[in-house]
Structure 1
């Protein structure tokens, strides 16, 4: 792990940050929460499984807040949650927890301004370090993530294509995607055709598999 970004919040000095754990699976929230509760630099706050419960938890915070965020909530993928946090709660620090196979989401998190990344396979040792460094005013990324990012070509997918792929991962049909994004079904089909070409696949399943694994 290495420091990559310096962040500070003068208003938060002297206050113990409250950590909200957010993931679509309660068991994941509970597991991460039990770890957070043992970290002296922070205090454990509420769990959140969807955007509404996350907003509620943030509204109830009286001081600085850190969101430990999985790659999906029950009603939104990582990109949409990060967009909401950046728009409505810009002072909140965000730590994204992801599997190594979910590199597309790691890339999305970094581009969207997440303060730190924590790999699920190393969470027992890395999450206390990440949260401790955030409290001190530093953001950190795993060295392996930095090496992979610096060795990659530029992302070939547009923001809209990422959005549509995220909805595919959530299991939405073309009609549901068109309704969610305010597009016609023909436009969604056009986007999917372009996505398949870029990912060099010929099916929804193939596109989802590549996107989740980050192998594109």
Structure 2
């Protein structure tokens, strides 16, 4: 199976480099290139790629807003790529429905792995960004009364809460299955139910919520 990717990056030299890296992989095809957010949205709707590699800061429409439109349309999964690891960009991209977040200094093998991971329906967050997320939530999470249950968990079964906690650790379906001693297909079903009940668009959003809830 060939993974079709749209590359959205306003700097032509950087875009050419990304296209070169992606094109070097036998299982990845660059289906289109966009120089701004509006074009990225148009190409996603027109081409229906597997993944849109999305820059954050672009003219006409920023990457976070473009991500929100692409995800809302159901046209592709989005892997955000940026030089910035500031929390505002991380939170904005993930809450817009992005499936992953990598920094532009990521090396070629990690970039290719990220595209493959997102195309497979998994989440991908750069380790440096994950550390910032954990630190942010640890510093800013409001204390709850003793014994109080977060309202977001009310709709989940005990097993689904365990799965949500695994998503918070960034585990894949196979790793969740091994951790909770279940079949991988069962783990995948639980993940789908968690996302559906919590009205989340991606595993990355589930991971964000799990950290916010302290799971």
Q: 1:178 corresponds to which residue?
A: none
Equivalent residue, structure 2, for 1:35: 21
Indicate whether 1:134 and 2:125 are aligned.
no
CA separation of 1:48 and 1:154: change in aligned 2, threshold 3 A: farther
Q: TM-score, normalising length from structure 1?
A: 0.57
Of Structure 1 and Structure 2, the greater strand share is in 1
1:21 corresponds to 2:40: no
Q: How many residues align?
A: 139
1:85 aligns with 2:63: no
1:102 Cα deviation after fit = 4.0
Contact 1:35 1:124 in 2 (8 A): yes
For residues 87-112 of structure 1, what are the alpha-carbon distances to aligned partners after superposition, in whole Å with 9 as ceiling and x for unaligned?
3x324110111124544212211222
TM-score by length of 2: 0.57
Q: CA RMSD in A?
A: 2.2
Query: Whole-Å Cα distance in 2 between the matches of residues 127 and 147 of structure 1?
Result: 19
> Is there any run of 5+ residues in structure 1 with no aligned partner, and where?
1-14, 156-216
Distance 1:113 1:154 in 2: 22
The correspondence of residues 37-186 of structure 1 with structure 2, limited to 5 A, is 37-61=23-47, 64-87=49-72, 89-152=73-136, 153-154=139-140
Q: Kindly report structure 1 stretches of 4+ aligned residues shifted beyond 3 Å.
A: 100-103
Is the contact made by 2:9 and 2:15 (CA closer than 8 Å) also made in structure 1?
yes
| Alpha-carbon distance in 2 for matches of 1:34, 1:126 | 15
CA, structure 1 residues 64+53, in 2 after alignment: closer, same or farther (shift >3 Å)? closer
Deviation at 1:56, TM superposition (A): 3.5
Q: Is the 8 A contact 1:58 1:65 kept in 2?
A: no
Q: Could you tell me whether the CA contact under 8 Å between 1:23 and 1:74 is conserved in 2?
A: no
Structure 2 residue runs without a partner (length 5+): 142-215
Q: Which has the higher contact order (CA 8 A, sep 6+)?
A: 1
